[in-house]
């Protein structure tokens, strides 16, 4: 298989566990197994009694039932539980695309949405973000012009990594109508779903909104449980799901039973978890508001209405990768440079964790010493 190295995951492999002050994380605050078990009476005993045999390839029926509670049309049969979100992204493309197919990807993007189709030999067209007064926009007229008779899949990601953009209900309806008219599959990476900063910004999952829609969800981001490595793919198109299931038998076969059990607790108690994580997000966002207001000549940012990440524009002439390298070296603060997305002049920040204010303090110290007092 000839696939480009995953720039973002390479970067995290190198820096995630050594950087002192991470300021670009895309997951929300995690918790211990003990704290998670304490959310449900009797869960501790059940966890200790859990049988460590093989599990069902599709995912435990109870877990699939719990997952359906975040959808309106999806039933347990419309779900395949996988390892994180990365596995279903990989398997979906591998199982449903062939050499010569054409796909469109919302861009910049989480790289597997683009690199996996490219590795298969698909023609990948980038539906590029446009910044209008610092606000990221995905122009639907541009999307319409990109569609050809060979377009098989439109890859979306909302809330979006890295821009923080999130589709409105009206935009979603229009995109679904376009896809339906051309019989195109919509694959939407929805790992940040349920992290809308106000309920007004909630939109249906694409798997609910469209009969050929595919939604990917995960425990890693909104629910802050990435260590479980539990994610899923949802679609009412049974052929798509079946293709993925057949390939999954070559990768992970089935999921870790203890993780499935714990994910169920997380989902049944997600209101509490989301309330806590949104509280952290709102608090951290208000600190970023103050910071970016103070240094508005240096940085511009779009304050997202959903998700735990934002993309910041550098208003000074500096290579973003070099800038991030310097910030890390001098102050121990980890930023994610736009270079990782091949999108120059920006860096990604994250605000879903309780340690973020400390990292921002350190970043401000760097800014004062290296950008203000120079
Ligand atoms: C948009 C997007 N999709 C998928 C993933 C992968 O999620 P996981 O690590 O749970 O497999 C990430 C992780 O950062 C992401 O940002």
The domains located in the chain, with CATH, are 7-32+271-372 (3.90.1150.10), 51-269 (3.40.640.10)
The alpha carbon of 198 and the centre of ligand 1 are apart by a number of angstroms equal to: 22
Q: What is the pLDDT along the chain (374 residues), one digit of tens a residue?
A: 899 999 999 999 999 999 999 999 999 999 999 999 999 999 999 999 999 999 999 999 999 999 999 999 999 999 999 999 999 999 999 999 999 999 999 999 999 999 999 999 999 999 999 999 999 999 999 999 999 999 999 999 999 999 999 999 999 999 999 999 999 999 999 999 999 999 999 999 999 999 999 999 999 999 999 999 999 999 999 999 999 999 999 999 999 999 999 999 999 999 999 999 999 999 999 999 999 999 999 999 999 999 999 999 999 999 999 999 999 999 999 999 999 999 999 999 999 999 999 999 999 999 999 999 87
The alpha carbon of 307 and the centre of ligand 1 are apart by a number of angstroms equal to: 12
The alpha carbon of 192 and the centre of ligand 1 are apart by a number of angstroms equal to: 9
What phi, psi does 124 have (nearest 5°)? -110, 120
Q: Which helix (H) or strand (E) holds 262?
A: helix 257-268
Output the residue whose Cα is nearest ligand 1's atom 10: 84
The alpha carbon of 85 and the centre of ligand 1 are apart by a number of angstroms equal to: 6
3 state DSSP class of 285:
helix
pLDDT, position 374? 75
Probe residue for ligand 1, chosen from 191, 233, 310 as the CB with the greatest number of ligand atoms within 8 Å = 191
Ligand 1 atom nearest to 161, measured from its CA? 1
Probe residue for ligand 1, chosen from 81, 83, 84 as the CB with the greatest number of ligand atoms within 8 Å = 84
Output the residue whose Cα is nearest ligand 1's atom 7: 85
- Give the Cα separation of 190 and 217 in Å (integer): 5
Contact criterion met (CB below 8 Å) for 75 and 245: no
Residue with tokens 């050809």: 148
pLDDT, position 48? 98
Ligand 1 atom nearest to 221, measured from its CA? 10
Q: What's the pTM?
A: 0.98
The alpha carbon of 232 and the centre of ligand 1 are apart by a number of angstroms equal to: 12
Output the residue whose Cα is nearest ligand 1's atom 15: 110
Probe residue for ligand 1, chosen from 81, 220, 352 as the CB with the greatest number of ligand atoms within 8 Å = 220
Contact criterion met (CB below 8 Å) for 335 and 324: yes
Ligand 1 atom nearest to 27, measured from its CA? 14
What residues does 104 pair with on adjacent strands? 125, 154
- Give the Cα separation of 347 and 336 in Å (integer): 5
The alpha carbon of 49 and the centre of ligand 1 are apart by a number of angstroms equal to: 31
- Give the Cα separation of 14 and 71 in Å (integer): 36
Question: Any residues with Cβ below 6 Å from ligand 1, and which?
Answer: 26, 84-86, 110, 157, 161, 189, 191, 218, 220, 226, 231
What residues does 235 pair with on adjacent strands? 214
- Which residues, in sequence order, are CB contacts of 38 under 8 Å at separation 6+? 44
Q: Which helix (H) or strand (E) holds 350?
A: strand 346-350
The pair of structure tokens assigned to 255 is: 């999921």
Ligand 1 atom nearest to 109, measured from its CA? 1
Q: How is 84-128 classified by DSSP, letter by letter?
A: TTHHHHHHHHHHH--TT-EEEEEES--THHHHHHHHHT-EEEEEE
Contact criterion met (CB below 8 Å) for 213 and 186: yes
The alpha carbon of 30 and the centre of ligand 1 are apart by a number of angstroms equal to: 15
pLDDT, position 269? 98
3 state DSSP class of 343:
coil
pLDDT, position 329? 98
Contact criterion met (CB below 8 Å) for 261 and 46: yes
Residue (of 142, 154, 155) closest to 180 by Cα position: 154
The alpha carbon of 161 and the centre of ligand 1 are apart by a number of angstroms equal to: 9
pLDDT, position 200? 97
pLDDT, position 94? 98
Backbone dihedral region of 79: left (phi > 0), alpha (psi from -120 to 50 degrees) or beta? beta
The alpha carbon of 95 and the centre of ligand 1 are apart by a number of angstroms equal to: 19
- Which residues, in sequence order, are CB contacts of 245 under 8 Å at separation 6+? 57, 58, 80
- Give the Cα separation of 357 and 29 in Å (integer): 13
pLDDT, position 1? 86
3 state DSSP class of 45:
helix
79-83 sheet: strands from edge to edge: 79-83, 230-235, 213-218, 185-189, 151-157, 102-107, 123-128
pLDDT, position 283? 98
The pair of structure tokens assigned to 187 is: 């694959």
Contact criterion met (CB below 8 Å) for 50 and 261: yes
Contact criterion met (CB below 8 Å) for 233 and 208: no
């Amino acid at each position: 298989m000839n696939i480009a190295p995953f720039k973002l995951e390479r970067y995290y492999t190198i820096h995630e566990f050594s950087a002192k002050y991470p300021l670009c994380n895309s997951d929300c605050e995690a918790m211990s197994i003990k704290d998670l078990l304490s959310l449900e009476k009797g869960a501790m005993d059940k966890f200790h009694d859990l049988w460590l045999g093989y599990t069902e390839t599709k995912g435990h029926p109870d877990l699939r039932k719990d997952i359906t509670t975040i959808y309106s049309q999806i039933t347990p049969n419309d779900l395949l539980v996988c390892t994180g979100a990365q596995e279903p992204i990989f398997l979906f493309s591998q199982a449903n695309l062939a050499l010569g197919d054409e796909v469109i990807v919302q861009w910049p993007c989480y790289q597997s949405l683009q690199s996996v189709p490219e590795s298969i030999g698909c023609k990948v067209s980038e539906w590029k973000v446009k910044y209008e007064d610092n606000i990221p926009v995905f122009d639907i007229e541009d999307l319409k012009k990109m569609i050809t008779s060979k377009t098989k899949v439109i890859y979306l990601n909302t809330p979006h990594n890295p821009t923080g953009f999130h589709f409105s209900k009206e935009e979603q309806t229009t995109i679904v109508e376009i896809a339906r008219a051309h019989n195109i599959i919509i694959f939407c990476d929805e790992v940040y779903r349920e992290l809308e900063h106000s309920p007004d910004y909630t939109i249906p999952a694409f798997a609910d909104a469209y009969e050929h829609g595919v939604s990917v969800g995960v425990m890693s981001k909104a629910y802050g449980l990435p260590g479980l490595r539990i994610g899923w793919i949802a679609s009412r198109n049974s052929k798509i799901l079946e293709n993925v299931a057949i390939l999954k038998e070559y990768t992970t076969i089935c999921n870790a039973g203890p993780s499935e059990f714990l994910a169920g607790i997380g989902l049944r108690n997600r209101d509490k978890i989301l309330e806590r994580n949104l509280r952290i997000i709102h608090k951290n966002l208000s600190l970023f508001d103050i910071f970016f207001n103070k240094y508005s000549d240096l940085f511009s940012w779009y304050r997202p209405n959903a998700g735990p990440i934002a993309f910041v524009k550098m208003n000074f002439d500096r290579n973003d990768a070099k800038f991030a390298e310097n910030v890390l070296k001098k102050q121990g603060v980890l930023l994610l440079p736009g270079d990782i997305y091949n999108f120059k002049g920006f860096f990604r920040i994250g605000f879903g964790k309780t340690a973020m204010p400390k990292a921002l303090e350190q970043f401000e110290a760097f800014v004062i010493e290296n950008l203000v007092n120079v």
